[in-house]
Amino acid sequence: MSKGKYYFSKSLEKGLNILTLFNRDVPVLTQSEIAKILGLNMTSTYRYINTLVELGYLEKNAKTKEIRPALLSLALCTNLMGATDHLKMIKEIVDRIHRENNISIDVAFVLDDALVRIYHREAEETLTYRLPDVSKNCLHNTALGKAYLSSLSDERLAEKIAPMVLAERTEKTITDKVRLLKEIRATRARQFSMCTEEYLPGLLAIGAPLYDPVSGEGVGAISFDFSVLQQNPSEIMATYGDMIRETARTLSQLIPEEEGRRSR
């Protein structure tokens, strides 16, 4: 037996195999389904699942017993992505645009109803808002979120919006689902979103969706962020509409296939 085989951890292998079962098409599984797919007995499967739940990589619904990846899994994926050349190239493009235009830029992936920011550059001597690393319930009130929603098919868009609670963050936040659908259709038509003080008073943002380069499905978005003291929505759309669309197309080609499939 080689030294590598001697130190091989079967338990770690099985734990990682469980995590790799989840993807865009299979976001939720039960213990029995996991056991059947991997050919494990129920006792061992329970032990592996419970360990991953306790560590924060999986979450288990107490009522339905359904199991899905937790945010720590996405954080792990994002951190691993940070060690690859893909994110380095994304950063280089964002840094260049930031340097040439002195604008604040956010790049984020979407997991269920959460935006997970992977990179941020802040404009110098300006008042803008920095998105938290993980932001929930903000697909309807941010340029990033609305851009992502515009990438979905009509069927998936309806499924995504149906359970959403449209939290009112400012007096300009869209809280009516019919109005939100209308806004998403307008976003889809022009290929970029606009957010006018809907997430935070004084914050204007324009965004465009990012697509998985293999499946063509939306996985996130990029936004340019401004203060109302500097710009108005019409000026932003006229000046940055083409730029945000082209930047999103370029970044989409740099998204690793596996990262795109893990994002939702």
Report how far residue 212's alpha carbon sits from residue 150's, in angstroms, rounded to the nearest whole number.
14
Average confidence score pLDDT of the chain: 87
Q: What is the CATH number of the domain that holds 42?
A: 1.10.10.10
Cβ-based neighbours of 256, under 8 Å, separated by 6 or more = 81, 84, 86
The two tokens of residue 256 are 């690793």
Report how far residue 263's alpha carbon sits from residue 219's, in angstroms, rounded to the nearest whole number.
6
Model pLDDT, residue 150 = 97
| pLDDT higher than threshold 50 for residue 119 | yes
| pLDDT higher than threshold 70 for residue 10 | yes
Nearest by Cα to 137 from 166, 159, 180, 175: 166
pLDDT interval class at 133 (50, 70, 90)? confident
Nearest by Cα to 260 from 228, 207, 216, 227: 216
* Number of domains observed in the structure of the chain: 2
| pLDDT higher than threshold 90 for residue 245 | yes
Coil, strand or helix at 195: strand
Mean pLDDT of 6-13: 83
Residues 30 and 89 in one domain: no
Q: 22, 52, 69 — which closes off a domain?
A: 69
| pLDDT higher than threshold 60 for residue 220 | yes
Residues 155 and 252 in one domain: yes
- Which residues on adjacent β-strands are paired with residue 203? 227
Is the dihedral angle over the CA atoms 116, 118, 123, 125 positive or is it negative? positive
| pLDDT higher than threshold 70 for residue 98 | yes
pLDDT interval class at 130 (50, 70, 90)? low
Residue 155, domain extent: 74-262
Report how far residue 134's alpha carbon sits from residue 114's, in angstroms, rounded to the nearest whole number.
6
Model pLDDT, residue 256 = 64
CA angle 123, 80, 223 (to 5 degrees): 30
Model pLDDT, residue 81 = 62
Q: Tell me which of 9 and 82 has the higher pLDDT.
A: 9
Nearest by Cα to 146 from 212, 223, 74: 223
Quick count: other Cβ atoms within 10 Å of Cβ 155? 8
Residues 145 and 38 in one domain: no
Nearest by Cα to 259 from 25, 123, 80: 80
Report how far residue 161's alpha carbon sits from residue 169's, in angstroms, rounded to the nearest whole number.
17
Q: 39, 69, 99 — which closes off a domain?
A: 69
Model pLDDT, residue 2 = 45
Residues 45 and 95 in one domain: no
Across 36-40, 70-74, 112-116, 124-128, the highest mean pLDDT is recorded for 36-40
Q: Tell me which of 208 and 91 has the higher pLDDT.
A: 208
Residues 79 and 108 in one domain: yes
31-40, 48-57, 105-114, 141-150: least confidently modelled range:
105-114
pLDDT interval class at 263 (50, 70, 90)? very low
Which value, in Å, is the radius of gyration of the alpha carbons in the chain? 20
Report how far residue 252's alpha carbon sits from residue 212's, in angstroms, rounded to the nearest whole number.
6
Q: 29, 54, 69 — which closes off a domain?
A: 69
Residues 88 and 199 in one domain: yes
Residue 125 vs residues 30, 93, 104, 174, 260: alpha-carbon distances, Å? 51, 21, 11, 30, 34
CA angle 53, 59, 61 (to 5 degrees): 120
Model pLDDT, residue 254 = 84
Cβ-based neighbours of 211, under 8 Å, separated by 6 or more = 151, 217, 218, 219, 252, 255, 260
Model pLDDT, residue 260 = 42
Express each pLDDT in 166-209 by its tens digit: 999 999 999 999 999 999 999 999 999 999 999 999 999 999 99
Q: What percent of the chain has pLDDT over 90?
A: 62
Express each pLDDT in 25-61 by its tens digit: 788 999 999 999 999 999 999 999 999 999 999 999 9
Model pLDDT, residue 262 = 45
Residues 48 and 85 in one domain: no
